[in-house]
Amino acid sequence: MLQLRSVLAALVVLIVAAAPASAARPIVDLHKLDAYFALFASDSNVPWQKTTVRLDTYSSAPVAFTVYQVDPADVVTAGSNARARAIDTRGRRPVARFSYTPPGGYQFQSNRVEIPLGRREGFFVVEARRGAVGEQVWINRTRVGLVAKQSPGELVLYAADLGSGRALAHMRVQFVVNSRFDTRFTDAHGIVRWTHAPWPVFALAQWGSSYAFTSLFPQAPLPATIVGIRTDSAVVHAGDSLRVIGFARTRNGSVLESARGTATITMRLGGDAIAQTQAPLDAAGAFSATLPIPANAAAGSYAVLAEVAGGVGGASAHVDADAGGLSLGVNGACDGACDPNADVPVEIRSSRGGTDVHLTVVRSPHVYVGYTPDSQPWATTTWLDRHVTTDSRGRAIVDIPHPTDGLASTYGVRVESGGATAVTRVIVPTARVAVRLRVDRDTQTLGTPLGFDVFVNDVGSGKPLAGATVTAQLQHGSSTQQQTLTLDADGHARGTFSTPQLGTNLVLASVVSGGATAMDATQVNVIPQATQDTSSTSSNVRIALDRAVYAAGEAVRVNAALSGARGDAFVTLEGAQSVAADVTPTRDGRADATLRVGDAPGDLRVGAAFVRDGAIEWTSVPLALDAPGRPRVVPLSLAASRLEPGAQTTLTLQGVKGDAGTVVVRISRGAPSGSALFDTAPSLLAVGLAATQVSAPAGTTWHPWVDSTGEHAQVLGFERRGAPPKNLAIADADTQAVSWSVARDDGAPIPVQLPTERGRYTLSVLEMTDDGRVIAASSDITVQ
């Protein structure tokens, strides 16, 4: 779009610059811009509502529309990677013809054009033409909708009437399997299941003249063995040692059991192994080892791999290198917690005085609790880049300028001198809690709702903040939309902005806790057409469970609600191997269902789908199961109310039965990150997440045109990069483990030896039980 605007601006300049004396000079024909237009149609349309297409134009020349009724096989492509195609309209009789003149003159304009189809049902193709340029989109006018639940072990389809909301029994569903059709019918509850390979790639359902379809995604099979590994610190110095702890689980039917055998642990940089050892697995399937790091190890991010019975688990650890007899160190120097309104002091250490050190600080305006992002967070940037000379004792203090944007900060600090390196991470929250904002997509289509999730946790304990009010804003230039949300028991809230504007939108979420404001922000780019999916949950659906934690074999009582919902609700218990379902009538937008949870590996969630206003809205919530082979993250409590230097106390993992196992207790200076973060270890067992798709999602989702003429004008864009991109990776925290204990646990309170020095520390616990559970807990502690 920006390229087209540039073309338009250039053409206008040429016209203005044309002098009357140059009568023979050709005049630029702005009508060439008539070739620039784009047609879009929504993925689902119900016959009792008006059907519109979206027409994006750059001029006001009339557009001729022709509408044809077609067979679904003419326009629908089976499989997620298949390309759409245009149809040959020769010999076809149109059901409608009309002309539309866009307003606005020579500028970008997004128009909604009504298609006169009355109450017809079925598939239609709309063709838009300007001269020799033609584009086609398909329209599905249907009164039926599908919900698809896919796990590695089962595919479940649910069919519902988009008008009454009722389940559709004995509805024909054609699956595409190995390039052939396999016809099935829904049962009395509107459900059809597929439980074996080969798996279908496409499903087309028909009810009278109405159709619904979905492309089905391939699901990764469940692993036979799961291996997890964690380190005492995410950063280690060359010449020192790296302590590792890990576990292995093997799948036996529906249960993950403690593995037996030996773990082979290797530390590699690329293809070069710098350390390797073996460690036996104990009764809990746990292993521990110490890897000596060579004194001449090169600086870099190393892979720490553990292999057990064909399964491999990995972590990363950064090695700080020495060079020419010079070693460096760096750490945050705040006296206690850093003040977000003051500059952040950083201490640099060198083994020789008077050393010139290159300091680089990268800032991410986010603080994450128990979460590691998969990609570079929004607005990460180089914050400070300068040279510092250490004093005669090899010390230097540098202040990192504090930001004024009101956001929390995670600083990645790196120092380098003559090949010697050191890194660390400094976290500066703005309140005792941290807000994490997650949007469904960072690039999305104009006219589609912007969905987002907010998570709020205590920075010290990781405990979710329940019941607090979150203020969410969507900012675009001087325009601001605002809404308030309430956090659930898991410290989570879901929201939606229905009308994000074209261009760059800033999304913010804030919460007030303890008199201070915690905030997070991210950016969403709204463009005429982006890649779409139909897997986004609805912020309007609410699910409440009768318990916080369940045991295997217990009943799960579900209360789900959607204001204005009609007909039946589709309530599911989704696991890695199967999907249990209950179809229950709604009353005043509420539905109650009872499902039974058994031993199951992997991720477990409870979902609910409703029909409202001709669309399907759904959401899901995690289900915590206390059973063998299951993951858990729990709070911890210490027996001593006052923690004195050098004292011994005990800790208890709250809500955990006294099962035998192996427990690791670590007390570290600084907040662990990366491979040293114990809280993320249990999630390695949560494999096999069930995927959900709906054919008629709430809010408009668009699919784009296909070329029916080949006469489209082409615009070429070029981007010059004068230098390689900057390294904006946030360094991990160089945390010192002042206490590290690996011992067998018989279920009694766990002993803890406190540090001999006063100060603020992070207490981390990882327990691996003999029956396969993996349990983590952590909390900040102050020794005084």
| Per-residue pLDDT, 80 | 44
150 closest CA partner among 203, 76, 204: 203
* pLDDT tens digits along 601-622: 888 999 999 999 999 999 999 9
178 closest CA partner among 160, 194, 201, 157: 201
* pLDDT tens digits along 626-678: 989 999 999 999 999 899 999 999 999 998 887 899 999 999 998 899 999 99
Indicate whether 22 pLDDT > 90.
no
In the numeric block, the tokens 């640099």 are attached to: 348
For residues 435 and 518, is the Cβ–Cβ distance under 8 A?
yes
Tokens linked to 204:
């087309």
543 closest CA partner among 566, 564, 568, 573: 573
What is the identity of the amino acid at 474? L
Indicate whether 750 pLDDT > 90.
yes
For residues 444 and 701, is the Cβ–Cβ distance under 8 A?
no
Give one DSSP letter per residue of 53-98, joined into a string.
Answer: EEEEESS---EEEEEEEE-HHHH---STTPPP-----TTPPPSEEE
Indicate whether 534 pLDDT > 70.
no
* pLDDT tens digits along 70-110: 998 887 764 444 556 788 888 899 999 999 999 978 888 88
* pLDDT tens digits along 333-372: 987 789 999 999 999 999 999 999 999 999 999 999 988 8
Indicate whether 19 pLDDT > 50.
no
Using a pLDDT cut of 90, give the percent of the chain over it.
68
Give the mean pLDDT of the chain.
89
Tokens linked to 274:
């710098």
Mean pLDDT of 267-273: 93
| Per-residue pLDDT, 599 | 79
| Per-residue pLDDT, 12 | 39
Indicate whether 1 pLDDT > 50.
no
Task: Report, in this order, helix, strand and coil percent for the chain, each rounded to 5.
Answer: 5, 50, 45
State the Cα angle at 259 between 258 and 265, rounded to 5°: 120
pLDDT-based confidence at residue 317 (cuts at 50, 70, 90): very high
Residue 9's CB: how many other CB atoms inside 10 A? 10
| CA distances in angstroms from 200 to 163, 193, 196, 447, 535, listed in the order given | 28, 11, 10, 32, 18
| Per-residue pLDDT, 577 | 85
How far apart CA 187 and CA 136 sit, in angstroms, is 37
For residues 535 and 489, is the Cβ–Cβ distance under 8 A?
no
pLDDT-based confidence at residue 375 (cuts at 50, 70, 90): confident
pLDDT-based confidence at residue 530 (cuts at 50, 70, 90): low
Mean pLDDT of 245-253: 94
| CA distances in angstroms from 439 to 31, 194, 521, listed in the order given | 40, 32, 10
| Per-residue pLDDT, 470 | 97
pLDDT-based confidence at residue 445 (cuts at 50, 70, 90): confident
Indicate whether 11 pLDDT > 80.
no
Specify the higher pLDDT residue, 209 or 375.
Answer: 209
Tokens linked to 417:
């001198």
Indicate whether 275 pLDDT > 90.
yes
Using a pLDDT cut of 70, give the percent of the chain over it.
92
| Per-residue pLDDT, 263 | 97
Tokens linked to 136:
């086609």
Q: Which residues pair with 461 in a beta bridge?
A: none
How far apart CA 345 and CA 363 sit, in angstroms, is 14
Indicate whether 741 pLDDT > 70.
yes
Q: Burial, 89: exposed, middle or buried (Cβ in 10 Å; 0-12, 13-18, 19+)?
A: middle
| Per-residue pLDDT, 16 | 38
| Per-residue pLDDT, 722 | 61
Indicate whether 30 pLDDT > 60.
no
Indicate whether 276 pLDDT > 70.
yes
Indicate whether 688 pLDDT > 80.
no
How far apart CA 744 and CA 213 sit, in angstroms, is 54
For residues 363 and 380, is the Cβ–Cβ distance under 8 A?
yes
Indicate whether 232 pLDDT > 60.
yes
How far apart CA 744 and CA 683 sit, in angstroms, is 22
147-161, 588-602, 706-720, 769-783: least confidently modelled range: 706-720
| Per-residue pLDDT, 589 | 95
Mean pLDDT of 476-502: 90
Give one DSSP letter per residue of 4-71, joined into a string.
Answer: HHHHHHHHHHHHHH--TT-TTSPPP-GGGGGG-EEEEEES-B-TTS-EEEEEEESS---EEEEEEEE-
Helix (H, G, I), strand (E, B) or coil at 667: strand
* pLDDT tens digits along 402-422: 999 999 999 999 999 999 999
Indicate whether 712 pLDDT > 70.
no
What is the identity of the amino acid at 108? F
Indicate whether 152 pLDDT > 90.
no
Please list, residue by residue across 183-212, b when 16 or more beta carbons sit within 10 angstroms of its beta carbon and e when fewer do: ebebeebbbbebeeeebbbbbbbbbeebbb
What is the identity of the amino acid at 233? S
How, if at all, do strands 443-445 and 516-527 pair? Answer: parallel
| Per-residue pLDDT, 2 | 39
| Per-residue pLDDT, 365 | 96
State the Cα angle at 460 between 627 and 379, rounded to 5°: 105
Mean pLDDT of 750-758: 93
| Per-residue pLDDT, 729 | 84
